[in-house]
């Protein structure tokens, strides 16, 4: 088949094809590339950022270019450090933003700086320009270039009007305050207050919060509290009006309301402590190899805030500079915890060795230095990589840590919906240890629960615990210095081949499941118990069956919370102690049992044995429980001595209420007891309404002074304490004096 075609038609065809190609190359392809770049960036693909940068640079028009910068650079980078990191680490908490991105979508400063500058200094006066300016100001601040930041803010203020200019002015005031010129900052804050925002209701709240900090710095905490109260009342009025206009509007609190409420609480406490000046907290974030950590997020978080994730409204957040330094000025006195914000590459292979109850107590006019040192994770040696252990002993070993006085070893077992970890060995000195397998088998973890047909029941996997040859266990180790401070740990972020190291998993196949174990795993707990008892009856040296009997009774007691289960458990616990006189978990259970029963002589005996088993170092919780037992027996002098020791070692001071009660019962003055309450504040950030003991003691003192009969009040107080010690609900109910009643009620919740 042939086709006849004229040359001119052939030419025309070729020309049209070429035109189409050109159109594709210069119009369609860039659009496709752009959308692909945006998609790659948004899904966090490798090279996504580079692609998007190229797309911005080759944008078809200035408008498009600005749109891209606005949408993907200013929009994604938050003005607040609280949204700029992959991982937030604080005392006892690691919050991963959990983004499934290989290459973080967060722009590095090197990448975004030129674009932010371009956007911030040119063209339209839109809200994103303010975003760009604020991000730049944060950068200038971390570079120590306050002047540049101020100049940029002032310049931008002039091209804006209204509320937006005021927002910028507030940022300027904050920057001035951070630079140390509190007077100028106050002048700006007062100007802002004099001309309230027209539309942005949040802004006036933010101004009030900022000014309150400055006022505390001037020793005017009372004035600060009044202005916060005024603002809160005004906001509530405004919300009520809004609700009338829009009845469908639900009840909610704005972010600024939350911030002000938290601030209010801090101010009330500061006033109780007769605060006269604010404080400075500064420090350096470094790695232990000396490398300063530049542009790490640092958050000084008030006690009230640490139970939730970091919000933009929290007042003390900043970035470290190139030397890793940070500084917070005008900090209202109170209790704080230091959190870090880190990118994956900053934490990979390293850990911030902070402990659950690391608190920073900021006092009047303090200038505190809080340095942070990140440490490399401990490399484990063995067991690892799913090794199957079959010997009668298990060897754990890891790379030694410089300066470590002792290590604590933890085992982890998989249970339904997660894992649970238990200390296997506390305070071991060397970097390797050989344990008889039964130590691991008899590590008594907590009980876990599972849902079976909508009913909650004990998970048998947790009961069998570390004696299960089919489970894939893992372990980790923590290193402590002589003072009991955590140096580093083996568990953390391991995100590349170099940091991954050996996998801390192993199987323990020294024993096989018995018939009783099989019954237990099938959930037939009672039958299993009978089998274990039978096996133990046949062989009194059968440690496993004995351990499982105790475990099953313990599980049922914890589920039903009934003492009679414990009664049945006791003889077995005692036999366990006979077999292994140093078994501190069994001794503690016995002590606890007799303490609950108020069998004081057995309580004393088992506590003594427990202390001995622990090398003379009871854990602070056990010691506080023992001190409480002494208090209930009216052995108050002994009790206060034990309490005092325990307080020093338990930074949460969870039993301080009992300590104070014992001191009062022993006849100590309110002034002395109040000092103790101040020295050992109870830290329970995750509980709502944890008592402020100092306040309660202060109220007792006022109540007593009001009656003018110190002796009479002292007798009433002693009677009330007696009622609490005997847990006499009726007598407590009959307490008429409000401060005393409040104190007694608070004491009943100490545990």
Q: What is the binding site for another protein (CB under 8 A)?
A: 1-8, 10, 40, 43-48, 96, 98, 100-103, 385-386, 410, 412, 419, 421, 474-476, 490-497, 500, 503-505
Least distance to another protein, CB of residue 47, Å: 7
Query: Minimal distance in Å, beta carbon 494 to another protein?
Result: 5
Task: Give the closest residue to 442 by CA, choosing from 329, 302, 589.
Answer: 589
User: Quick one: CA dihedral 464, 465, 469, 472, positive or negative?
Assistant: positive
Q: Which is nearer to another protein, 135 or 490 (CB)?
A: 490
Q: Which region, left, alpha or beta, applies to residue 229 given φ > 0 means left and ψ of -120 to 50 means alpha?
A: alpha
- Distance between CA 347 and CA 418 in Å, rounded? 23
* Distance of closest approach, residue 180 Cβ to another protein, in angstroms: 40
CB of 488 to another protein, least distance (A): 13
CA 263/CA 105 separation, integer angstroms:
33
- The residue (of 347 and 520) whose beta carbon lies closer to another protein is 347
The CA radius of gyration of the chain, in Å to the nearest whole number, is: 32
**Shortest reach from residue 496's CB to another protein, in Å:** 8
Q: How far is the CB of 501 from another protein (least distance, A)?
A: 9
Cβ at position 739, least distance to another protein in Å? 47
Tokens 């240890």 belong to residue: 433
Of residues 388 and 560, the one with the C-beta less far from another protein: 388
537 contacts 436 by C-beta, under 8 angstroms: no
CB nearer to another protein: give 397 or 722: 397
Nearer to another protein, 97 or 731 (CB): 97
DSSP 533-599: HHHHHH-TT-HHHHHHHHHHHHHHHHHHT-HHHHHHHHHHHHHHHHH-TT-HHHHHHHHHHHHHTT-
**Under a CB-based contact definition with an 8 Å cutoff, are residues 735 and 744 in contact?**
yes
Nearer to another protein, 503 or 710 (CB): 503
Instruction: Copy the structure tokens of residue 352.
Output: 């911030």
Rounded to whole angstroms, the Cα distance separating 466 from 720 reads: 47
Q: In this complex, which beta carbon is closest to another protein, that of residue 1 or of residue 194?
A: 1
Give the residue with the Cβ less far from another protein, 48 or 462.
48
* Least separation in angstroms between CB 13 and another protein: 11
- As a whole number of angstroms, the distance between CA 683 and CA 652 comes to 5
Q: Closer CB to another protein, residue 413 or residue 550?
A: 413
Residue (242 or 496) nearer to another protein, CB: 496
617 Rama sector, left if φ>0, alpha if ψ -120 to 50, beta otherwise: beta
Please give the Cα distance from 169 to 141 (Å, whole number).
16
Four-residue CA torsion sign, 238, 239, 240, 242: positive
Q: What's the CA gap between 132 and 160, in Å, rounded? A: 14
Q: Which residues pair with 339 in a beta bridge?
A: 299
Identify the three-state secondary structure at position 409. strand
DSSP character at residue 467: G
In whole angstroms, the minimum distance from the beta carbon of 418 to another protein comes to 9
Q: Based on CB atoms, which residue is closest to another protein, 471 or 559?
A: 471
Closer CB to another protein, 507 or 621, in the complex: 507
CB of 53 to another protein, least distance (A): 15
In angstroms, rounded to a whole number, what is the distance separating the alpha carbons of residues 138 and 117? 13
Query: What are the backbone dihedrals phi and psi of residue 304, each rounded to the nearest 5 degrees, phi first?
Result: -70, -25
DSSP code of 398?
E
Residues 377, 492 contacting (CB under 8 angstroms): yes
In whole angstroms, the minimum distance from the beta carbon of 18 to another protein comes to 14
Query: Which of 573, 584, 552 is CA-nearest to residue 424?
Result: 584
CB of 455 to another protein, least distance (A): 29
From the CB of 240, what's the least distance to another protein, in Å?
A: 45
Rounded to the nearest 10°, the torsion over CA 70, 73, 76, 81 is -120
Q: Toward another protein, which CB reaches closer, 48 or 91? A: 48
First vs last C-alpha separation in the chain: 98
């Amino acid at each position: 088949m042939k086709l006849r075609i004229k040359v001119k038609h052939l030419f025309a065809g070729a020309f049209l094809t070429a035109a189409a190609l050109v159109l594709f190359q210069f119009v369609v392809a860039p659009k496709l590339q752009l959308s692909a770049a945006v998609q790659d960036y948004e899904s966090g693909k490798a090279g996504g950022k580079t692609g998007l940068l190229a797309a911005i640079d080759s944008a078809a028009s200035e408008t498009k270019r600005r749109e891209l910068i606005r949408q993907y650079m200013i929009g994604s980078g938050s003005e607040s450090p609280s949204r700029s990191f992959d991982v937030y680490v604080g005392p006892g908490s690691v919050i991963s933003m959990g983004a499934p991105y290989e290459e973080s979508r967060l722009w590095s400063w090197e990448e975004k700086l030129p674009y932010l500058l371009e956007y911030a200094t040119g063209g339209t006066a839109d809200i994103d320009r303010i975003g760009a300016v604020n991000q730049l100001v944060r950068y200038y601040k971390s570079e120590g270039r306050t002047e540049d930041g101020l100049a940029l803010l002032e310049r931008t203020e002039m091209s804006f009007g209204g509320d937006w200019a005021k927002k910028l002015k507030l940022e300027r005031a904050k920057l001035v305050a951070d630079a140390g010129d509190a007077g100028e900052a106050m002048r700006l804050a007062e100007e802002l207050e004099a001309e309230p925002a027209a539309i942005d209701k949040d802004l006036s709240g933010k101004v009030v919060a900022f000014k309150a900090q400055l006022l505390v710095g001037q020793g005017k905490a009372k004035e600060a509290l009044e202005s916060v109260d005024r603002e809160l009342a005004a906001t509530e009025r405004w919300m009520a009006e809004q609700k009338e206009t829009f009845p469908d509007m639900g009840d909610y609190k704005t972010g600024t309301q939350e911030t002000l409420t938290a601030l209010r609480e801090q101010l009330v406490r500061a006033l109780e402590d007769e605060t006269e000046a604010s404080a400075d907290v500064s420090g350096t974030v470094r790695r232990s190899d000396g490398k300063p950590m530049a542009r790490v997020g640092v958050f000084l978080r008030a006690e009230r805030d640490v139970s939730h994730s970091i919000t933009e409204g929290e007042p003390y957040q900043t970035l470290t500079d190139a030397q890793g330094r940070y500084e917070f000025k005008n900090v209202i006195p109170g209790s704080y915890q230091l959190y870090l914000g880190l990118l994956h590459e900053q934490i990979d292979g390293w850990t911030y060795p902070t402990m659950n109850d690391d608190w920073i107590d900021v006092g009047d006019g303090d200038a505190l230095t809080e340095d942070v040192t990140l440490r490399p994770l401990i490399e484990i040696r063995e067991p690892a990589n799913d090794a199957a252990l079959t010997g009668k002993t298990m060897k754990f070993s890891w790379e030694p840590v410089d300066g470590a006085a002792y290590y604590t070893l933890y085992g982890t077992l998989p249970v339904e919906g997660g894992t649970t970890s238990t200390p296997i060995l506390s305070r071991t000195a060397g970097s390797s240890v050989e344990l008889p397998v039964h130590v691991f088998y008899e590590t008594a973890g907590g009980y876990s629960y599972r849902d079976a047909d909508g009913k909650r029941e004990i998970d048998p996997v947790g009961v069998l615990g570390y004696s299960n040859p089919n489970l894939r266990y893992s372990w980790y180790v923590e290193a402590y210095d002589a003072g009991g401070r955590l140096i580093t740990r083996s568990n953390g972020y391991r995100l590349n081949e170099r940091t991954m190291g050996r996998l801390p998993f192993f199987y323990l196949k020294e024993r096989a499941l018995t018939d009783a174990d099989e019954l237990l795993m099938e959930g037939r707990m009672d039958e299993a118990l009978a089998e274990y008892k039978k096996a133990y009856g046949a062989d009194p040296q059968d440690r496993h069956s004995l351990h499982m009997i105790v475990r099953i009774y313990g599980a049922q007691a914890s589920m039903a919370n009934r003492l009679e289960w414990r009664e049945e458990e006791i003889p077995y616990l005692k036999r366990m102690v006979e077999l292994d006189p140093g078994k501190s978990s069994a001794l503690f259970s016995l002590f606890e049992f007799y303490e609950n029963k108020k069998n004081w002589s057995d309580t004393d005996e088992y506590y003594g044995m427990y202390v001995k088993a622990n090398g003379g170092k009871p854990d602070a919780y056990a010691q506080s429980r023992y001190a409480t037992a002494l208090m209930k027996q009216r052995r108050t002098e002994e009790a206060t001595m034990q309490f005092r020791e325990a307080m020093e070692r338990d930074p949460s001071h969870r039993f301080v209420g009992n300590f104070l009660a014992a001191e009062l019962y022993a006849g100590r003055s309110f002034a002395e007891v109040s000092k103790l309450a101040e020295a050992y504040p109870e830290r329970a950030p995750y509980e709502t309404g944890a008592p402020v003991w100092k306040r309660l003691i202060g109220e007792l003192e006022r109540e007593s002074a009001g009656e003018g009969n110190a002796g009479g009040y002292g007798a009433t107080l002693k009677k009330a304490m007696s009622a609490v010690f005997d847990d006499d609900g009726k007598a407590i109910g009959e307490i008429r004096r409000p401060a005393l009643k409040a104190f007694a009620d608070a004491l009943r919740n100490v545990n």
